[in-house]
Amino acid sequence: MSGNLSVAIVGATGAVGQEFVRLLAERRFPVGRLKLLASRRSAGKTVEFQGRPHTIEELTDDSFQDVELALFSAGASISRKFAPLAAEAGATVVDNSSAFRMTPGIPLVVPEVNPEALEGVELGNGGIIANPNCSTIIMIVPVTPIHRAVRVRRIVVSTYQAASGAGAAAMAELEQQTREVLAGRSPTCEIFRQQYAFNLFSHDSGIGPDGYNTEEMKMVRESHKIWGDSSVAITATCVRVPVMRAHAESINLELEEALDADQARSLLANAHGVSILDDRTGNRFPTPLDASGRDDVFVGRIRADISRSGKNGVHGLDLFVCGDQIRKGAALNAVQIAERLVGDRTRRSARRVEVSLSR
């Protein structure tokens, strides 16, 4: 395998696909050849990468010949059809959809949390890796250091999710609705069935017989798989809010051992992928604008849960977090997975050279 990779982006015209392109350039990912794949209606358009225009190609069954890494962000139905084809052609797939997250044998990875799940995966040798749901990533990055230190027994999380979670078309509709409502006109409701501008509503995913919607259950099941521990009780309430980009979450933790706010702050200050914004005096805490376009998950409102702490041996902690759904919640996490695979490949190559020289 050459030093530079042959990379394909599936869903290159979407919000996450465009972020893939930006991140590969920003982070100087070793791209030798880049294929941009999308639907037939987008084929022929151009996207600039590393100062050169790249023409978008129509996604077909034969799109993955000689591709070593395929980054998917085109929806679950596209992934179910084309990700196995890419893997069979030898590409290592990092899939951003929900298609394979809970499939046994397919790693579900947040690099700051469970990089060991990538053991045995080699770039350009086929296989599928699943990227978790954005809300799960934004929660689990800051909660994991606490879980490792004192063990979390229970999580109660409420999310405040931006339009970016539903893609570029939803972001455009929120902008359009805002203009329409301010002008006194009825809002256009094509992506969502109700007014989004100046409103909020329960997440628009399907609701099961237990009353939980799909988004909420993703947070429960995916967290269990990432941690390899289904004993942690998790309940979630997911809400759409009229914010353009970056999700916020209110997180209440029940802990096995006591952990005060200062101890929690110290743990989080040393955690990779976390930035603290917790100014009580100035009443300044994380906002979606703080997180937009940033790699880290921002954490604030770090405080002991006064309803639980120390009572009957139960300890609690509250956090408020914000993370960029398009970036860390989607594209960045996938690119970080790919970067780890590149690092693993480099280390294996170095070991082979050392063995060869020692003979």
The CATH topology of domain 135-162+200-325 is Dihydrodipicolinate Reductase; domain 2 (3.30.360)
* Annotation says 247 is catalytic: yes
Kindly report, residue by residue over 311-353, the tens digit of the pLDDT.
Answer: 777 899 999 999 999 999 999 999 999 999 998 777 766 565 5
Kindly report, residue by residue over 195-215, the tens digit of the pLDDT.
Answer: 999 999 999 899 999 999 999
Q: Check residues 202 and 1 and name the one with the higher pLDDT.
A: 202
- Quote the mean pLDDT of the chain: 94
- Residue 334 contacts residue 71 (beta carbons within 8 Å): yes
**Which entry of 147, 247, 315, 322 is annotated as an active-site residue?**
247
Residue at 181: amino acid letter: V
Check residue 315 and give its pLDDT: 93
Q: What are the backbone angles phi and psi of residue 186, rounded to the nearest 5°?
A: -70, 135
Q: What residue spans define the domains of the chain? A: 5-130+330-358, 135-162+200-325
Check residue 2 and give its pLDDT: 46
Report the alpha-carbon angle 172-178-180, nearest 5. 100
Check residue 313 and give its pLDDT: 75
Check residue 312 and give its pLDDT: 74
- Residue 2 contacts residue 32 (beta carbons within 8 Å): yes
Q: Are strands 5-10 and 69-72 parallel, antiparallel or unpaired?
A: parallel
* Claim: this prediction has a pTM higher than 0.95: no
Per-residue pLDDT averaged across 32-40, rounded?
96
* Annotation says 134 is catalytic: yes
Check residue 112 and give its pLDDT: 97
Return the SS3 of 229: coil
Per-residue pLDDT averaged across 300-313, rounded?
86
Task: Please report which confidence band the pLDDT of residue 176 belongs to, taking 50, 70 and 90 as the band edges.
Answer: very high
Class of residue 7 by CB neighbours under 10 A (exposed 0-12, middle 13-18, buried 19+)? buried
Looking at 3.40.50.10090, 1.20.1050.10, 3.20.20.70, 3.40.50.720, the CATH number of the domain 5-130+330-358 comes to: 3.40.50.720
Kindly report, residue by residue over 240-251, the tens digit of the pLDDT.
Answer: 999 999 999 999
Per-residue pLDDT averaged across 157-179, rounded?
95
Check residue 354 and give its pLDDT: 59
- Residue 257 contacts residue 250 (beta carbons within 8 Å): no
Residue 121 has pLDDT above 90, yes or no: yes
**Which entry of 134, 203, 238, 322 is annotated as an active-site residue?**
134
User: Tokens 């914000």 identify what position?
Assistant: 322
